[in-house]
Copies of this chain bind each other. A is one copy, B any other.
Amino acid sequence: MARQALLAALDEGWADPARLYREGRRARLLLDAARETAAESVGCRPDELAFTPSGTRALHDGIAGALAGRRRAGRRLIVSAVEHSAVFQAAAAHEASGGTVAEVPVDRTGRVAPEAYAAALREAPEDIALACLQSANHEVGTVQPVAEAAEACAADGVPLLVDAAQSLGWGPVEGRWSLLTASAHKWGGPAGVGLLAVRKGTRFRPAPVDERESGRAPGFENLPAIVAAAASLRAVRAEAAEEAERLRGLVDRIRARVPELVPDVEVAGDPERRLPHLVTFSCLYVDGEALLHELDRAEFSVSSGSSCTSSTLVPSHVLRAMGVLSEGNIRVSLPRGTAGTDVERFLEVLPGVVAGVRERLGAPEAVAAAAAEAAAETSGLVVDSLGKRCPIPVIELAKVIGDVPVGEVVTVLSDDEAARLDIPAWCEMRGQTYEGERPAERGTAYRVRRRA
């Protein structure tokens, strides 16, 4: 549908909709029609909706415009700890220009408690300019209590911006939000189109502006892509309920079977209040990038929030905020139309792939005997993992823990940022006591007390 609409609009909608000649007027009609279609799917008025070049730009420009419009009201921005990185980029720009940012924490499922959101609104309430909350998390699929947050914001006169990128293809965002953003390629539409809805009455001052998109999204409109975006949103919505139920069943199967098939796995996110198509899990003693490449060889295209797969060597901020394991992290996103047989084949392939990676890394199961030998050589109760990257520090900890007397402490030295997240997460999974960290001569010393 997106492709058909794009091709048609390449013929009919190449001209500048700001021009008065016939090709321009035709382009204007197409743009108006696309805006009406998309606004209906969003649940707003057409004149409240602007098309932006991407979801990221909608977030950057939406947050900046709302903060500028509310500058006299305050300089405080409230965000959840698990927003999309584009929200944190906009927040960093806000801080750089003298504003403040407050983060609302999440629980281990990645969910913001409505009470925690309300509490953040009560802190320095006279200074709050804007609050942001995603409709659902992009890494673990957990659905957020947007309607409750919107009520709390409305009661305090604070505009709420909802990042609906993950959920808009499945349905409108309920509740009294003030601003909403989304991204067309997330619902199967084309690249190059984001949505920014700004409800009437919401103060908004973008800069710099031109005369396009009500002054909210400058630059020549990407009309063929906009037409494709609107048409595909309507199309996916028409079958959203049925497809959501089907994909939900497939994800339920992955959530249930992976921990049965693969030892030492943690499935992340809320098992009930979640997106239909997304599931994330982490495998102890596995390098996320190696796992991803092995799955790619088996023709499964998955993502990872492990630090090993990130150019910044920092693990996913979402997993970190949740306090769950990030090593060997895999995110499976089922496209609409995914066949159940593909999911079954994934479940067949996965255990062998994980075991293979663990074996190559010398993980505990594979080297039980070797570990016992190594333990004899361990010089006291310090594991030196300096210079070694995720998941090696945790693998080395797991190798020696059996040799630590119950009640005693082992110290892991590591300079890998992922260890900060993964050693406490391993302790939680393994029933050991994490005693905290302290700076070491090189890197950081993580202390773990053997409980059993």
Contacts and interface: CB of A to CB of B under 8 A. Distances in A.
A20 B305 CA distance: 12
B89 A209 contact: yes
B23 A56 contact: no
Interface in A46-101: 53-57, 60, 85-86, 89-90, 92-93, 96
Contacts of A7: 7
A54 B220 contact: yes
Nearest to A207: B93
A124 to B, nearest CB: 23
A3 B191 CA distance: 16
A218 B89 contact: yes
A96 B218 CA distance: 18
Contact of A19 (B85, B190, B207, B303): B303
B301 A21 contact: yes
A220 B191 contact: yes
A30 interface: no
Contact of A20 (B86, B190, B296): B296
A231 to B, nearest CB: 15
Nearest to A89: B208
A111 B302 CA distance: 55
- State the oligomeric state as a number of copies: 2
Which of A55, A300, A301, A311 is the most central at the interface, judged by chain B CB atoms within 10 Å of its CB?
A301
A210 B3 contact: no
Nearest to A10: B3
Interface string A176-199: 000000010100001110100000
Interface in A1-32: 3, 6-7, 10, 14-15, 19-24
Which of A7, A192, A293 is the most central at the interface, judged by chain B CB atoms within 10 Å of its CB?
A192
Contact of A208 (B6, B24, B90): B90
Contacts of A432: none
The 10 closest A-B pairs by CB, nearest first: A53-B53, A54-B219, A192-B222, A21-B301, A89-B208, A56-B219, A93-B208, A192-B192, A191-B222, A93-B207
Given A54-B218, A56-B210, A90-B208, 12 more contacts: A3-B10, A20-B289, A20-B292, A53-B54, A55-B219, A57-B219, A60-B218, A86-B219, A191-B222, A191-B223, A192-B225, A225-B225
